[in-house]
Chain A
Amino acid sequence: MDHVENVVRIPIGGGEEPEPSRTSSPPPDLITLAAGAAIGLVALAVEAAVQILQAVSATPDRDGVQGSSETVAMLTGAALGFAVEAARTAAAAAELGRRTAGPPTSFLVGNVFDGPWRAGLDLLSRWNQSWREERPDVEAAANAVAVEAVQRTIDLVLDQLDLTQLVLDHVDLDRVISSVDLDAVVGQLDIDRIAGGIDLDAIADRLDVERVIARLDLAKLSLEVIERIDLPEIIRTSTGTVASEGVRVVRMQTFGADRAISGIVSRMLGRRPPEAPSDLDEPTDQAGPDRTGA
């Protein structure tokens, strides 16, 4: 509404009318604002200080203290109000002075101090220019210095700390490890390349093979190996020098027949049924005298 009113009134009433209305309620200028802010800050600080003092004195319920604190608050408020009034008066006086001294000052500045002013501006501009030119180098140097300083500081700090112990004390390593996908890590390893980097010859050179062999019972081992792979059977089947398969069958069958007949005879004669034990017993009976005789 106000905006619309202004638009209507400017062509009708002339240019003079709105100006006084604007200046009659001028927006608080910079000085006034700064003064108000400073006073506000001081007021807040004083208020806080008073509250802290009350809290520290720790006897808020006593009547005397209560009265004195009210007195302090009243005095503080009065002082602040006075300060506000003073600031306002000072601002008004300054405004008056500026209006009075404005034209001659601007004349002086515009004519008398124009040369030095421009020279100063040029100087500042040159300084600014040179700063812009130097800026990358200066920044780089500053960066280097900062990095170095930080580095040294960190080293100094780390020297004072037992990081391993800190990690052991404060880090749940099991949880960390369980969150790591070890399969993926292993999958990324090039095992062939690692194996290729190992000098097996050098390792083999360091082995004392002679000593290893000396600890083996080669004779017994060979017998066991021959037994396992049935080497005689291989030789028999490959060369056929010894009993052929047919002869083996005949021998086994006759042996079976021998045993059967011995069993029958033993049963008929009422001897112990299996002939094998008797076969073992008899020779030992005979062997004794024979051996002594020999």
Chain B
Amino acid sequence: MPETEPAILSVPAEARDFQGERAGIVSRVIANAIDLAILVAVLAGVYLGWSAFLFLRHGSSFRFPTVTYPGVYLAGVIVLTLLFTAAWSTTGRSYGDRVLGLRVVDRHGARLAVGLAFVRAALCVAFPLLLFWAIIDRRSVQDLILRTRVIYDWTEQTGSDHARGMRVDVASAVAHEPEHRDAESVGGFDGER
């Protein structure tokens, strides 16, 4: 699979060897922490936006909306699920994944379909602690159930052309794994082609 070479060339030499490997627990926890921080920021933004809307609506009688724990939890769950779904089904990576150089792929090594991304997002949000099975297996329980994987992938492809572009336009060199490293993902591309 020599057409993957140009893509791997965009990765620093010292990191090329492990591109496509399953990511470890530290990377994934940090990535999730970043995503959580972003969730907090988003929730704060939503709260402020909602408050501004209420202020414009009520004028002098405006008061900041009350924040309840279940309300915040519910909002967080919904927003995080939507964020993950959007990220994994488009670029294959949330912002935390992007910072840590990770990508979520399906059993064929391709970008997740929207449905699969949503299910995985819901499971991750509902049972976050299941992630720590990755300490033992480098796969979370969600990954075991859905046959997804989180891999090291420092290459820079936008999600829309990531999976499709790999198969259609090899010259644009958007492969994300070294040709010898991950037999499963390589086989997956061939199988889908």
Binding site for B on A (CB under 8 A): 223, 226-227, 230-233, 235-236, 241-243, 247-248, 250-252, 254-255, 257-259, 261-262, 265, 269, 275-276, 279-280, 283-284, 286-287, 290-291, 294
CB-CB contacts of B133-171 with A at 8 A, as 1s and 0s? 001101000000001000010101000000000000000
**Contact between B10 and A232 (Cβ–Cβ < 8 Å)?**
yes
Question: In whole angstroms, how far apart are the Cα atoms of A291 and B191 in the complex?
Answer: 6
A142 shortest CB reach to chain B, Å: 90
A51 shortest CB reach to chain B, Å: 107
**Contact between A251 and B154 (Cβ–Cβ < 8 Å)?**
yes
A256 shortest CB reach to chain B, Å: 9
Closest B residue to A220 by CB, please name it.
B2
8 A-B pairs with least C-beta separation? A258-B24, A283-B184, A287-B184, A257-B26, A254-B27, A291-B191, A251-B101, A294-B191
Binding site for A on B (CB under 8 A): 5-6, 9-15, 18, 21-27, 30, 99-101, 107-108, 135-136, 138, 147, 152, 154, 156, 181-185, 187-188, 190-192
**Residues of B close to A258: CB separation below 8 A:** 23-27
A286-B184, A291-B187 given; A254·B13 CB < 8 A: no
A253 shortest CB reach to chain B, Å: 9
A250 shortest CB reach to chain B, Å: 7
B120 shortest CB reach to chain A, Å: 17
**Residues of A close to B6: CB separation below 8 A:** 223, 226
**Contact between A233 and B184 (Cβ–Cβ < 8 Å)?**
no
**Residues of A close to B30: CB separation below 8 A:** 254
A140 shortest CB reach to chain B, Å: 88
**Contact between A257 and B184 (Cβ–Cβ < 8 Å)?**
no
Interchain residue pairs with CB less than 8 A apart (9): A233-B13, A241-B156, A242-B156, A243-B154, A251-B100, A257-B24, A284-B184, A290-B108, A294-B191
Question: In whole angstroms, how far apart are the Cα atoms of A284 and B182 in the complex?
Answer: 8
Question: In whole angstroms, how far apart are the Cα atoms of A154 and B10 in the complex?
Answer: 81
**Residues of B close to A242: CB separation below 8 A:** 10, 156
**Residues of A close to B191: CB separation below 8 A:** 290-291, 294
**Contact between B188 and A227 (Cβ–Cβ < 8 Å)?**
no
Closest B residue to A226 by CB, please name it.
B9
**Residues of A close to B135: CB separation below 8 A:** 261, 265
B9 shortest CB reach to chain A, Å: 5
Question: In whole angstroms, how far apart are the Cα atoms of A279 and B137 in the complex?
Answer: 9
Further 9 A-B residue pairs, CB within 8 A, beyond A251-B27, A255-B18, A255-B24: A226-B6, A227-B9, A250-B100, A265-B136, A269-B136, A287-B184, A287-B188, A290-B188, A294-B188
**Residues of B close to A243: CB separation below 8 A:** 101, 154
**Residues of B close to A279: CB separation below 8 A:** 21-22, 138
Closest B residue to A247 by CB, please name it.
B99
**Residues of A close to B27: CB separation below 8 A:** 251, 254-255, 257-258
Contact residue among B101, B181, B188 (Cβ-Cβ distance under 8 Å from A291): B188
